[in-house]
Structure 1
């Protein structure tokens, strides 16, 4: 299954990301990806994506990771609501003391 995900590049304490289309079983650090469809500079807040290529890959059947989905929604490439990326907190079970 193809995924559109972020691949970290850049130096230590200076993160830059590539928006890549890759097989979901491959690690993002490998250089085995189908296409680079955008970039994201975290510190400068610059997000660039090739909208036509992203829509093409989604139409082919590529899935989008939640973080990439939120970036694409804020950019206006995709329609819809943002997805909650953070995991749900499970309430801690209180152990009752037996008398």
Structure 2
């Protein structure tokens, strides 16, 4: 399976990213199939080869959540933004504990 993802380049504390097409199992900064553009998060500068992006999406390449959100903001994909960060494992037990407390309060009343 092929994915469209960020490849980090740049200096320490000054990241810039290349948007590349790579095999799903390859290393983050490993070999890639094609370079589609770049993204600078500090200046919000984006350079994309839109024809090639549309081609790879039509062929079935899966963009990561962050890349998907970038494509949505650039209006290359007509979809809603995805949540790029998942809930931490610490917050799940706390939420369950809060639900249990509210259920106990309801049963007492």
In which range does the TM-score fall when normalised by the shorter chain?
0.7 to 0.9
Cα distance per residue 1:45-84 (max 9 Å; x no partner) = 1112111101101111111100000000001111111001
Q: 90, 93, 98: which one pairs with 2:92?
A: 90
Task: State the match for 1:42 in structure 2.
Answer: 41
> C-alpha separation between the residues in 1 aligned to 2:25 and 2:8?
17
Q: Which residue of 2 aligns with 1:11?
A: 11
Which fold has the larger relative contact order, with Cα–Cα distance below 8 Å and residues 6 or more apart in sequence?
Answer: 1
Gaps of 5+ in 1: none
Find the residue that maps to 1:52 and give its secondary structure: helix
- RMSD across aligned C-alpha pairs, in angstroms? 1.5
In structure 2, stretches of 5+ residues that fail to align are 101-109
Which structure's CA Rg is the greater one? 2
> Partner of 2:104 in structure 1?
none
Aligned to 2:20: 20
Kindly tell me the number of residue pairs found equivalent between the two proteins: 94
Q: Compute the TM-score of the two structures, normalised by the length of structure 1.
A: 0.88
